[in-house]
Copies of this chain bind each other. A is one copy, B any other.
Amino acid sequence: MSYQNRKQKLLKIVEQHGEVEVKELAQKLETSEITIRRDLALMAADGLIFRTHGGAMKMSLASIPVSFQQKTSTNIEQKDYICRLAAQEILDNDIIFMDCGSTVFRLCQFIKNKRIKVITNSLPVVYELLNTEVSINLIGGELDGNRQAIHGKIAVEHIERYKVDKAFLGVDGISIENGLSAASEKEAEITTAMAANAQSTYLLCDSSKLGKDKYLKFAPLTIIDVLVTNQATDLLKSYQDLGLRILN
């Protein structure tokens, strides 16, 4: 297979997924990682993609989500697995909340063709769902440049005006003992508000966050209805005992 051929395929994959890892690409194209790296380097030089550590991302994305660049290429497969599960729960005509976490962001690719309404405070999500089947409602308020998301009192009030079917949320930490925890007060505020105004609240949470606590404990586990994760560990049983539905 020639470089040009691979280039086409790589472009397609990157367009589709938004963000990919070198390993993944090497497998898909049945070639070595070094070849993929060389290809990506050439393509990046042409401005066709944005090179990240361990992979690549869509140019259009790279210019926007600064905050996600730092988190790129960690646990992508796990996150995609989780998001695929979560997407299956979404029905046509659903109205859903999506918050500004990096896991939740990856849900976008799986819902592009659904006829739903998404209410979100995340600019990357907005950008990703622009000009798709999805109808978007953007939460208004103060923009946090680093997180590329809207936070604050106005944002919370905006959320409270809606009652939606499902909320898809991420957190920085979750444990039986301390419930949900976050690294930022602002994010916690949004998460809480979204959960309170959704019929079902889905927590998208890769296994690395299970049992971890961050500095700010902000809500009990009970605000969550469904825990979507990637590993079927014994740990999950205790969550199940607390009344959470587990998807994995």
Contact = CB atoms under 8 A, between A and B. Distances in A.
Interface of A: 2-5, 8, 11, 19, 46, 48, 50, 52-55, 57, 59-68, 123, 126-127, 130-131, 135-143, 145, 148, 150, 154-155, 158, 161
A123 B140 CA distance: 12
A148 B130 contact: yes
List of 4 A-B pairs having minimum Cβ-Cβ separation, nearest first: A140-B140, A2-B52, A136-B143, A4-B52
Contacts of A123: 126-127
B68 A4 contact: no
A132 to B, nearest CB: 8
A240 B137 CA distance: 41
A155 B140 contact: yes
A46 B64 CA distance: 9
A64 B127 contact: yes
B140 A139 contact: yes
A65 B11 contact: yes
Contact of A3 (B8, B52, B143): B52
B143 A141 contact: no
B137 A138 contact: no
